[in-house]
Amino acid sequence: MQIVYFPHPALRFKSADIRQIDNNLRTVVRRMFELMYEANGIGLAANQIGLPLRVFVMNLAADPEETDQEFVFINPQITNRKGSDVAEEGCLSIPKLYADVRRPSDVQIEAFDLDGQLFEMSLDDLPARVVQHELDHLDGVMFTDKVIESQRKDVEPVLNVFEETLRQAQAAKAYLSDDELLNTLREIAAAGGVPGSFLEETVAPPQADVPASLLRARKGRGEAE
Ligand code: ZN
């Protein structure tokens, strides 16, 4: 299991509801936390590791020692949103790109945890932003779709580098084609659970080398989701 990068088709796939919480899902969730910490992130959605199921993880401390800050959201739904706020976001599927996004400032979210218990949280500020960013992932929406107008021109060239990187790897047969990737995504979504085959080693997705001149300077601490 590894983080996949834009424009991997998993990132544009509408993820399916999870039908059973089993040991495969628990293994995946543990690995998602590990991958998130390795990448210094504060949130990660399952389709960011190529798994088209509705689950994401969050730890705002970005610290594996702070396990009380770890949250797992299964089949999440935002039940209320209000306010509006612009802040910088980054994404583990488009490393090093940061840009401003406008979102509701306050949200109420409900989801199931790994014990199958329904819980509800009222969030504002950063946590509200993180859960909205992750829920967008599950619907195939990237933060770059929502970047404020004045920064869109800065985002485009970076996305182009990511696009070229994946297409070159696919052309060289160093990575799976979109059709092959989509077939797997559809199978897993139809099953509504994590197949054993997903836990096996896979080919590492190609990583883009984005020239520093194309990257916006980040304002915040550089957390990504
Ligand atoms: Zn993201």
Cis peptide preceding 157, ω within 30 of 0: no
Nearest CA to 72 out of 60, 59, 61 is that of 59
Catalytic residue positions? Answer: 134
Q: Which residues surround ligand 1, an ion (CB under 5 A)?
A: 91, 225
| Interval between CA 21 and ligand 1 midpoint (Å) | 24
All domains of the chain, ordered by start, with CATH? 9-208 (3.90.45.10)
Rounded CA gap, 197 and 202, in Å? 10
| Interval between CA 143 and ligand 1 midpoint (Å) | 7
What lies within 8 Å, CB to CB, of 20 at 6+ separation is: 192, 193
pLDDT at 39 over 80: yes
Reported pTM: 0.96
Task: For residue range 71-105, list pLDDT tens digits in order.
Answer: 999 999 999 999 999 999 999 999 999 999 999 99
| Interval between CA 47 and ligand 1 midpoint (Å) | 10
Rounded CA gap, 150 and 15, in Å? 30
Alpha helices by DSSP H, listed for 70-177, are: 125-138, 152-171
* Confidence at residue 222, expressed as pLDDT on a 0 to 100 scale: 66
